[in-house]
Structure 1
Amino acid sequence: MLDFLSLVVLTKNTSTIPILGPIWNIIVNVLGVIMNVIYLSLEKIGIGNIGLAIIIFTLVMRIILFPTSLNQQKSSRMMQIMQPEMKAIQDKYKNKTDNASMMAQQEEMKALYEKYGTSMTGGCLPLLLQMPIIFALYRIIMNIPAYVPHVYSIYENVMNAIGGSSAAQKLVDFATDNGMKNILAQLHNLGVGENVSYTADQIGNFIIDFLYKLNPSQWTALQGVFTDTNAVNAIQTAAEQSAHINNFLGINLSTAPSAMGFVPNVYWIIPILAGLLQYLSAKLMTAQNAGMAEGNDQSAQMMKSMNMMMPLMSVWFCFTFASGIGLYWCASSFFMIIQQIMMNKYFGKFSDQELLQASMEKTNKKRAKKGLPPIDEKTVEKRIEKAKAMANTAEKNRMAVIAKQSAKTKESTEYYNRNAAPGSLASKANMVKMYDEKNEKNKK
């Protein structure tokens, strides 16, 4: 987790995610434009504030991602409805590992998914589509200056005043003396003493990322590092501007709650609120999908554990990272709760049969576009019955082979043991003798 975060906090000019490559950069840049538009709009009405920008940005992202969330919720509901039939198929083929039974089970499962107009990946695909966007969101929230030019200029003025990339060593010494080694690790030690060679522009971006993370007390301490009047004045101006844009209800968003110590203070509101909102969100999702774990103790236990672990993880992350990340986490959970309530109310209006019928109609429209015949419950039931018949035939054939082999073994045993007590030494010697005689006859 920390390795990933250390990669994404860099300005957009200095890092990329090789796994996603150009796609990742496109997603991040598009979302960065949205964040910039939101911030500039707030600036025009005189309330330019990163906290408000983060909340509005989070709301916009939840709206954009709503279709995938709706599809995921629909798939979960269909999985809940089909759970009894799915369990019946699984129980039917339990402990059957022969190829015929496994193929028959797959065929029945496939037909069942067609019946309900969903697929095995129906619930996972929306999540997979959201993941690149979610990672991009974190990168933007953690690295506002890279995507909001107005904010970037605040820290760029300081960087130019203190000597540009040549000031990196002084800032590294300052960070070391003020207990900021974790930030240095995230920012590759500002390019100082690293095995990788960085350009002046890249080091400058590291410096801007570093300055953005300073809290008010660290800005004050930084003034004592430089003696040049222009540098001191630039630092004072940036400190005031940074305090203004980062202040949200008395909380500086560049400051992590952990930096304020373990005595309860106003900064604790964000991690506590994050944990509570995450818990409520998990409870709402559990209420909607309760039937999926019904009759499955392992799934129910796993869901219960997740409902406890996720809120605790939210508290820990929001306590450790800058409050801006915590604010995003809280806003995201809050909007997810509202979204979940709306979806629960919407899906609660429909019976299982109505949802099944609507899902089948949608599936048939897709099949019609591909030139395939429509399916209905009767068609699917026939496929399931056919799969059952195939399984029964395969099982009968398997049992016939076993019976034939048993009969052959019994006949052979009786032949060799007919003149001696079964299992005796004489019977074994007799078996060898008769075997040789039999082979001799076959040779003639």
Structure 2
Amino acid sequence: MSGIVLTAYPGSILGPVAKFLGWIMNGIYNGISSITGGRVESVVLSIVIVTIIIYMCLLPLTIKQQKFSKLSQKMQPEMQAIQAKYKNKKDQASMMAMQQETQMLYDKYGISPMGSCVQLIIQMPILLALYRVFYNIPAYLDGVKGSFTNLVTQIQSTSGYTDTLGELMSKFNFTTSSGLTSSNVVDKLSNASGDTLSNYIIDILYKLPSKGWDALLDGKYFDGLQSSVESTHNALQHFNYFLGLNISDTPWYIIKNNFFAKDKPEMWLLIGILALLIPVLSYLTQLLNIKLMPQASNGNDQMANQMKTMNMLMPLMSFFICFTVPVGLGIYWISSAVVRGLQQFFVNKHIENLDLEEVMKKNQEKAKKKREKRGISEDYIRQAANIRTKSIDAKANISASADNEDKLAKAQSMKSNAKAGSLASKANMVKDFNERNSRK
């Protein structure tokens, strides 16, 4: 890996994870090539295999998360009962008692309020790092990077190559994974040297769209290097194409340049349709994932509506974004969605067959042992809950009596201080007259 890390994602958190996953993918790529005697060198196949491996490793976390979701649904009625019991009670004793009963409920079902978050915290860096690997393949697959070495050396020996590469990027308007654009490429190449310079040029060649390679083959750029360009392009077609699609191109670029091609229109139309299928399949597989996921019912209509909206928007976002990212990333999204869908189908079957009462019993035993380690007994918890509940009721009664006495005192004060001629003073006169007559 030491020879290819310079083009790798440099992030302090995701960078090391991406390098490790890239090392796995590099081993898969080289292993497939070795087993097939060099006949199969496929980036797409490596993407699919490493995606399957990663999601199989994450399967225990997925099952744990689904158990959490199922138990959370089962405990919702009891949670809502606790919330109703302490509704509108904002004093400290009530808040503490509610917190205590809520914690006892979580212990009863053996789950944690942060349970689902922990699973996501573990999974997200892995999946995001995997995304970085697929976005910058030559940084992690030495076989892919090595295919460009000879051409890169010859380009560097060409006079004015930095301006030629700048013109090439400006003509075909693309950005590399190392941040090179048509506006900064000349400056960055001029200030780079050694491996960094070579890696920059490899990034440009790998992200170069199909029409750009056609221009190189025609000698419009770097005339005299056609032999090396052809050799590199043949290798690129061997490992970087899937059903006629260059996985470095975006679906939108392929559609825009192939649907209305004048030469061989039938072939280019077919390639354009295949490119369109990438975002369509991404949308459908994401939708399938959402259908298979268990839907939480927590009694909160607003939250349920928000989740429903998110479930509608996420596949649509995947559909539109997929037009603008390389085909290789689209294939990753599709393959990962298919793998997750298959996993979810079997996980759902597993969860349906679980004896939740037995799971709860085991979880309660675990929670009891943890409390005992902290020196908290079961009797103490029950007594504390009862004392706090009685304390709350007593304080509520005292508070109500005090409120009534305050109201009576205020009424008496207003009565004795009524102004002459007011309705209150006239009412007092009538009351006094009635009282005197009643004593006669």
TM-score w.r.t. length of structure 1: 0.80
Deviation string for 1:71-111 (max 9, x for gaps)? 21111111111111112222333333333322222222111
Provide the rounded CA distance (Å) in 1 between the counterparts of 2:30 and 2:141: 8
Query: Contact between 1:172 and 1:184, CA under 8 Å: does it hold in 2?
Result: no
Correspondence for 1:434: none
Matched, 1:351 2:355: yes
Correspondence for 1:8: none
Larger radius of gyration: 2
Quick one: which amino acid aligns to residue 29 of structure 1?
K
Provide the rounded CA distance (Å) in 1 between the counterparts of 2:75 and 2:29: 46
Once the 2 structures are TM-superposed, how far is the Cα of residue 186 of structure 1 from its aligned partner? Answer: 3.8
> 1:97 and 1:347, CA in 2 relative to 1: closer, same or farther beyond 3 A?
same
Query: Contact between 1:157 and 1:234, CA under 8 Å: does it hold in 2?
Result: yes
Q: 2:326 aligns with which of 322, 327, 341?
A: 322
Correspondence for 1:272: 280
Q: 1:404 aligns with which of 398, 402, 405?
A: 402
Correspondence for 1:5: none
Query: Contact between 1:214 and 1:254, CA under 8 Å: does it hold in 2?
Result: yes
Query: Contact between 1:168 and 1:207, CA under 8 Å: does it hold in 2?
Result: no
Deviation string for 1:117-170 (max 9, x for gaps)? 110110111111111111110110111111111111112322211117973332
> 1:164 and 1:310, CA in 2 relative to 1: closer, same or farther beyond 3 A?
farther
SS at 2:147's partner residue? helix
Query: Contact between 1:108 and 1:383, CA under 8 Å: does it hold in 2?
Result: no
Q: 1:39 aligns with which of 26, 29, 43?
A: 29
> 1:118 and 1:233, CA in 2 relative to 1: closer, same or farther beyond 3 A?
same
Aligned residues: percent identity? 35
Once the 2 structures are TM-superposed, how far is the Cα of residue 340 of structure 1 from its aligned partner? Answer: 0.6
Deviation string for 1:373-407 (max 9, x for gaps)? 798xxx49x84785365245235314523532552
Provide the rounded CA distance (Å) in 2 between the counterparts of 1:150 and 1:176: 28
Correspondence for 2:79: 86
> 1:363 and 1:395, CA in 2 relative to 1: closer, same or farther beyond 3 A?
closer
Provide the rounded CA distance (Å) in 2 between the counterparts of 1:253 and 1:385: 66
Query: Contact between 1:257 and 1:322, CA under 8 Å: does it hold in 2?
Result: yes
Quick one: which amino acid aligns to residue 51 of structure 2?
T
> 1:401 and 1:300, CA in 2 relative to 1: closer, same or farther beyond 3 A?
closer
Q: What is the 5 A alignment of 1:16-415?
A: 21=12, 23-44=13-34, 45=36, 46-163=39-156, 167-180=161-174, 182-183=175-176, 186-187=179-180, 191-193=185-187, 201-223=195-217, 224-229=219-224, 231-261=225-255, 263=259, 265-285=273-293, 289-290=294-295, 292-293=296-297, 295-364=299-368, 367=370, 371-372=373-374, 379=378, 383=381, 386-387=384-385, 390-401=388-399, 403-404=401-402, 406-408=404-406, 410-411=408-409, 414-415=412-413
Query: Contact between 2:155 and 2:222, CA under 8 Å: does it hold in 1?
Result: no
> 1:227 and 1:257, CA in 2 relative to 1: closer, same or farther beyond 3 A?
closer
Provide the rounded CA distance (Å) in 2 between the counterparts of 1:243 and 1:348: 47
Provide the rounded CA distance (Å) in 1 between the counterparts of 2:417 and 2:18: 87
SS at 1:265's partner residue? helix
Query: Contact between 2:109 and 2:363, CA under 8 Å: does it hold in 1?
Result: yes
> 1:394 and 1:249, CA in 2 relative to 1: closer, same or farther beyond 3 A?
same
Query: Contact between 2:33 and 2:40, CA under 8 Å: does it hold in 1?
Result: yes
Once the 2 structures are TM-superposed, how far is the Cα of residue 250 of structure 1 from its aligned partner? Answer: 2.7
Quick one: which amino acid aligns to residue 326 of structure 2?
A
My pick for the range that moved more, 105-114 or 29-38, is: 105-114
Query: Contact between 1:191 and 1:197, CA under 8 Å: does it hold in 2?
Result: no
SS at 1:140's partner residue? helix
SS at 2:148's partner residue? helix
Query: Contact between 2:248 and 2:327, CA under 8 Å: does it hold in 1?
Result: yes
Quick one: which amino acid aligns to residue 173 of structure 2?
G
Provide the rounded CA distance (Å) in 2 between the counterparts of 1:247 and 1:15: 22
Provide the rounded CA distance (Å) in 2 between the counterparts of 1:426 and 1:87: 48
Q: How many residue pairs were aligned?
A: 402
Provide the rounded CA distance (Å) in 1 between the counterparts of 2:358 and 2:151: 63
Once the 2 structures are TM-superposed, how far is the Cα of residue 357 of structure 1 from its aligned partner? Answer: 2.0
Structure 1: which 4+ aligned runs deviate by more than 6 Å?
A: none
Provide the rounded CA distance (Å) in 2 between the counterparts of 1:423 and 1:397: 43
Provide the rounded CA distance (Å) in 1 between the counterparts of 2:352 and 2:316: 30
Query: Contact between 1:216 and 1:243, CA under 8 Å: does it hold in 2?
Result: no
Deviation string for 1:38-77 (max 9, x for gaps)? 0001111131111111100101111121122122111111
Query: Contact between 1:117 and 1:356, CA under 8 Å: does it hold in 2?
Result: yes
Gaps of at least 5 residues in structure 2 are: 260-271, 426-440
> 1:405 and 1:235, CA in 2 relative to 1: closer, same or farther beyond 3 A?
same
Deviation string for 1:313-362 (max 9, x for gaps)? 22122222111001111110111011111111111112321221233344
Query: Contact between 1:32 and 1:147, CA under 8 Å: does it hold in 2?
Result: yes
Provide the rounded CA distance (Å) in 1 between the counterparts of 2:348 and 2:215: 52
